[in-house]
Each structure stands twice: as C-alpha cells, then as structure tokens.
Chains A and B, each alone.
Chain A
Amino acid sequence: MDIATAHAQPKTRVALTINGHRHDLEIHPWVTLLDLLRGPSLQLSGTKKGCDHGQCGACTVLIDGERINSCLKLAVTLDGTNVTTIEGLGTPDDMHPVQKAFVEHDAYQCGYCTPGQVCSAVALLREGHGRSREEIREMMSGNLCRCGAYTNIADAIQDVMDQEVKVGMREAAE
C-alpha cells in the first residue's frame, strides 16, 4: 500500500479522555498513542519519543492510572480510557509532588527523559510495591537516563515516598 492509498483508508473513531478533557478523534489504526499525543491535533509534546521501541521509557504515560510505553500502543485500542501525560500532572505554578522533588533533588540534566521518569515514578508510588532503595531502582529500570542522573532520581522518589509515609502515619494517628 503506498502512502496516498494508506491515507485514503478509513479512519476509526476513538474517544479518549486526556488529562481530564474528552477528545473525540478519527484516526488511522497504525497511529501510536505517542504519535497521536505529539501530533498536530493534540500538540501534547511533553511526552517524548526516545527509542520508539519500548526500550527507553521516555514515552511513558498513564492509562487508567497504569504506566505504559505509549510508543507501543495503537491509539485505536484505547477507546474509552483515561490518559494522563506529564501535562496533566502539574503546572509550573502548581507542581505534582514528584515534580517538586525532581527539582529539589536536581534529578535531571538534559531533561529529555524527565517526563517519562516523572510519570513512571507517579505510577510507582500508586502501585506501592517498591519501598527500599533497591526496589525503587528496580521498579524504575524501564526509564533510561543517558545523562546518568539515576542517583538523584532515586533520591527524589525516595523523598516523596518518605513524605507519604509520614503523612500516612500522621493521618493514622489522628
């Protein structure tokens, strides 16, 4: 199939809730969620394309709260789901606790992997499986950082986890 024929192919209707806003879209079935997010209709370029093969984690977003590689998901398969990208987690004036911790701990250098790292860390906190330093590192191994900011990334996540534990203990005591 040549490109002209491909573009003439029927599109599929998909309804996605992205960062709280519903979008009714008509898309070709071969469009990945990553390309849809970054494309002209949505222009959510916070999610980054790194390897485009599920090997780096830069494209990590949350689908119904679970982290996935958006480069390996066809958008047509996600009809009816809630997608959260880095744009939906916080703003410069009102950052998500994980974003704040990344700033405080200098958990990035070039910043290209950061949106994926932050989305992944938000999901990790929600999953509740990793608690020790080793577990945090293992459960964040799907996000590569070519600058090598791993120590500070783990510090930032550990910090948010410790704060959540403190809040939890305070709430339990009340």
Chain B
Amino acid sequence: MRPFSYTRAETLGDAMAALAANPTARLLAGGTNLIDLMKYDVERPAAIVDINRLPLKEIEELPDGSIRIGALVSNATVAHHPAVTERYPLLCSAILAGASPQLRNAATTGGNLLQRTRCYYFYDPSTPCNKREPGSGCGAIGGVNRIHAILGASEHCIATHPSDMCVALAALAAIVEVEGPDGRRDIPFSDFHRLPDDHPERDNTMRHGEIITAVRLEGNHFAGHHSYLKLRDRLSYAFALVSVAAALDVKNGMIVDMRIALGGVAHKPWRDSLAEAEFAGQPATEETFAALADRLLAGAEGQGDNDFKIPMARKAIVRALKQAAAGTPQVQSDKQIR
C-alpha cells in the first residue's frame, strides 16, 4: 500500500472540509473495498479521511412509515434489524446473499453503494481499463468477459456493479440522502448509479465533495411477495453472475404492482419501471413472467464468454417472480432453488 496522510473526522463538517481541501482525498468507512483496492494499487489516495466517528450509525423509523438507515450502519446490522426484517425482507435477503459475515460486519450502507466493479481488468493496473485510467481502453471487450455486462454497456466499458444490497434497494426505490458544499439533496436510487457511456470512470452521480448520509426507504406493499435469487459460481461468498430482486403486490392472482431489479448484468442495478408498469394488471402466472423477462432482456447483448447470462437471466427472472408470487422467497442459507 502506498503511504498517505490520515485525518479522523469527528463531524460531517470536518469530513467535507477535508474533502474540499484535497481533491485526491478519499473517505474511509468500513474499508472492505477501498483498502483492498489500495493494496492492488488501483486506488492511490494521497489522503484518507476516516469518517467512522460521524454520527451516521442509526436506523430511524420515521413518523410517515419510512425508515432511514444511516450511511455508517453496517450491512449486518441492517440485515438483522427487526423493523427492516419485517418491512423490507427483500433487502435483508439480498444483504445476506452477499459477501461473508466478517465483511458484512465491517461494510457500511454508504460504502456498499460506492463499491467498485470486480472486473478483472479494473483490478489489474498492468492492463488497460477506461474506468481506472480513462482513455486507456477496455481489456474486457474482446478479452475474458465471463462476468461482464449484458445490458447497458458501452464501447468503453462492460463492467458490472457488484452489489447485492443495491439490487434490492433499486427494486425498493430507495432514496439516497447526500450532503455537500451546496447543501443536502435526495437522489432517487435509479438516478444514483449510472451507465458507463463515455465516462466509465464515474460510477455514480454524486458531485465532488458530497457525502452519503443515509438511505431512506418508503413504505411498501411488497413484504409478503418478494424474492432475491442469486446465481453464482459457488454457493456462498461469491459475486453474482446474475441476480434478481423481485417484489410483487398480488391480489386475486393479479399483479397490482411490481418491482424487479437485476444484478450482475449491468454497470448499475438494472431496473425498467416502464416494463413494470406495462405488466401491472396482468395475471401473476409463469406466462406473464416469461413475457416480462423477454421484455427486460430485449436489448441484451453478450460479449462472448458471458453469452450464457442472457438465457440464465431469463430463467432467473421467471423463477424469482414465481417464488415471489407464491410467497416462498429464496432461502439464503441452504440455497436450494425451489
């Protein structure tokens, strides 16, 4: 790891001032991704601002029925919190499908949103990567690309977003609260992460100097019918090849409302709210789910090694929606897909 200067921020103001003072400074929370990237020489911050002392560690139940999760609440705390478990079981399931207990204890809510892709080329500074070094090219296009994107990729980058938690947050239409030099603002989850287009070095739409303070979840009708289905190379402790967060509001066998987000397939958690709206009012049957899967994957394009992801995603979408409709969400301990 390259040497860096270290500052411990006690307040949000401290942290913002430290960021403003040094454009190459990076915030350190759980560190599970940043420290790793520094060891690989992918991240080379001259200054680290430790934000672990900031008062962003509460899960608040707000009077309007929403829940605000502080940016420094650990992934494990969110996954086992009684109110989150009761009202947003899809989120708990997705968190428990990811990483390991040790990493979930250290990793924070804000940090999970900001983790970088696990593209092999991004992680290897001896290869070209437009995300790591803009303009250097993309090693994955025409290279080894088994884990790469099938939706929304660009000619500059075909990396995927690695988070499981974020797939559930996309489906639940979470709101990201950020604070920066220009004040506070709310970012709808679907606008938080971005597609690579001409700027794959930018993972999200935060502005320089902004800090995530919380993630807010509004009330929902999906607690009874949901499933997080994650397909990967081994049964635990591996990133998704394809994952599906499915949530349904079903009455008398008909879809009243639905949300579906895909992980492991794009530069951001993939959600298509227009497609969701089109399928409202239809019967909650396998035929409907298959038609929806075709609709969601209409623009899918393989890169060679990852062509298998397209039929895999199609089947995963149908299976997750069937699990959700039946009220039998995917179990994250035994992994048996029923």
Contacts and interface: CB of A to CB of B under 8 A. Distances in A.
Interface of A: 1, 5-6, 9, 12, 28-30, 32, 52-54, 57, 60, 66-69, 72-74, 76-77, 79, 120, 123-124, 127, 129-130, 132, 134-135, 137-139, 141-143
A132 B235 CA distance: 17
B98 to A, nearest CB: 11
B6 A29 contact: yes
15 contacts: A29-B4, A30-B3, A32-B35, A66-B76, A67-B101, A69-B102, A74-B48, A77-B28, A77-B31, A120-B102, A137-B236, A137-B333, A141-B235, A142-B101, A142-B103
Contacts of A60: 102
> Which of A60, A69, A73, A134 has most B Cβ within 10 Å?
A69
Given A53-B39, A132-B333, A76 B50 contact: yes
B32 A72 contact: yes
B28 A74 contact: yes
A57 B101 CA distance: 10
Shortest beta-carbon contacts, A-B, top 7? A142-B100, A29-B6, A141-B236, A6-B3, A134-B334, A141-B237, A138-B333
Nearest to B236: A141
A36 to B, nearest CB: 13
B39 to A, nearest CB: 7
Contacts of B28: 74, 77
B134 to A, nearest CB: 24
A124 B5 contact: no
Q: Is the interface of A mostly helix, strand, loop or mixed?
A: mixed
Contacts of B76: 66
A77 B50 contact: yes
B5 A29 contact: yes
Contacts of A141: 100, 235-237
Interface in B103-136: 103, 105-106
Interface residues of B, number: 34
B4 A68 contact: no
Contact of B237 (A9, A29, A142): A142
A140 to B, nearest CB: 8
Interface string B24-67: 00001001100110111000000010101000000000000000
A73 to B, nearest CB: 6
Nearest to B332: A138
Contacts of A12: 6
Contacts of A139: 101, 333
A132 B36 CA distance: 33
Contacts of B332: 138
A127 to B, nearest CB: 7
B221 to A, nearest CB: 27
Nearest to A124: B101
A33 B165 CA distance: 27
Contacts of B291: none
A72 B35 contact: yes
Contacts of A30: 1-4, 38
B6 A68 contact: no
A68 B3 contact: no
A72 B36 contact: yes
A55 to B, nearest CB: 8
A53 B32 CA distance: 9
B202 interface: no
A66 B104 CA distance: 10
Contacts of B5: 9, 29
B194 interface: no
A32 B28 CA distance: 13
Given A29-B5, A74-B28, A141-B237, 15 more contacts: A9-B5, A54-B103, A67-B101, A69-B106, A72-B35, A72-B36, A74-B6, A76-B8, A76-B50, A77-B28, A77-B52, A120-B102, A124-B101, A137-B333, A141-B235
Contact of B31 (A1, A52, A73, A138): A73
Contacts of B295: none
A120 B101 contact: yes
